[in-house]
Amino acid sequence: MDKSPSESLRLRGKKLVEEADAVGDSVELLKAHTLYLEQESVDSCPIRDRDRAYLEKIKLLREAVRFFKKAAAPEAKPKPGEAASAHKNMAIVLGELAVLNNNEGDISQSADIIYHWNKAMVYGLKDGFPENWHSGVRENLLKSAKKLVQLCRSAGVPAGIRRLENTLREVTDRELRYMILSVICELYIAGSLDDLNKRHYEIALDYMEECLIHFKEVETLVSNEEEKRFMVNMKRRIMDIKAEATAMQIIAKADKLLLEIQLLDNSDDKTNWLYFIIDFYTEAAQISENAELDSAAEAYNRIASLYKSMLNDEDRARFYYHESARMAAESRKKMDGIGSN
């Protein structure tokens, strides 16, 4: 009598255990492989039993993960090759569990999968696994990383950044670090722009400072002309946003001070304060003018308004209105150039 597909798989699992036992694999690794093979039989079960089998399959995979973790743990003192094998299989099983549980979009799950692919690669190199094994693991690692960065882009700031930074601590592969660091910088830029729009200038500046820290490493990982051009444009963007946040922060302080001096009775004191405030606006304009930013036009416009309405100096007011219009035109030209690229 022919054996059922399920029985055939169980016999394969038994044979695998016997073969592994002969070379001295750990008990935990044997159990994990057996459980993994056993869950494959679920797909061949009768349709009427599919719901029960589906739950059984998830249960078996979770048990397999538990034993793979035990096999890879340092306290288990895995033999050469065991830790690499356990981590590779954990990544595979976790990926299958994500599909079965319909949570492939879960960032934590995706990060765990990358963690185990990366560990498999590290241990595989250490234990002298063949090049084709290493290439296959690395291919899966990069594929999983691309999925994670997409999820983190959607998650935004700070959740996406936090997860990517945690993942970055585990990886050494150049291409993978470049990919993750580039997306971290993109997220910092997006977060900073969002906070600029909300007038949270200090937070925007903090994001840019963090971004520059990561960017220093990204620059060391550039390997071709396309990456180099991308990095040049990104650095220019970072410095522009940093200048804009700094300038807008100064303008906001000057605006607040201007409101406060309205209560002064002494006209001489008020005049002195007005020139002091003009110095603030001038500093903001100078910071952002080289980058041809909107904040330069805004600062010059404020200076012109003060000279006209509060200091009665039409000539200076006219000069600064002209400067404001010039910077506004330069800013538009710059944005049009970016849009056409």
Rounded CA-CA distance 162/151 in Å is 12
Q: Name 39's Cβ contacts closer than 8 Å, sequence gap at least 6.
A: 56, 57, 60, 61, 64
Which of the pair, 7 or 66, is modelled with greater confidence? Answer: 66
pLDDT for res 266: 76
**pTM (two decimals):** 0.77
What is the per-residue pLDDT across 39-63, written as a single tens digit (0 to 9) for each? 555 555 554 566 666 777 788 788 8
Q: Can you read off the two tokens belonging to residue 29?
A: 């690794």
What is the per-residue pLDDT across 197-227, written as a single tens digit (0 to 9) for each? 999 999 999 999 999 999 999 999 998 899 9
What separation in angstroms does the CA of 30 have from each of 14, 20, 138, 201, 328?
Answer: 10, 7, 25, 57, 70
Question: 50-54, 139-143, 308-312, 325-329 — which is least confidently predicted?
Answer: 50-54
Which of the pair, 105 or 49, is modelled with greater confidence? Answer: 105
Rounded CA-CA distance 270/59 in Å is 76
pLDDT over 50 (residue 191): yes
Model confidence at 65, pLDDT cuts 50, 70, 90, reads confident
**Cis? peptide before 158, omega within 30° of 0:** yes
Comparing CA positions, the residue from 320, 290, 288, 294 lying closest to residue 307 is 320
Where are the domains positioned within the chain? 1-72, 253-340
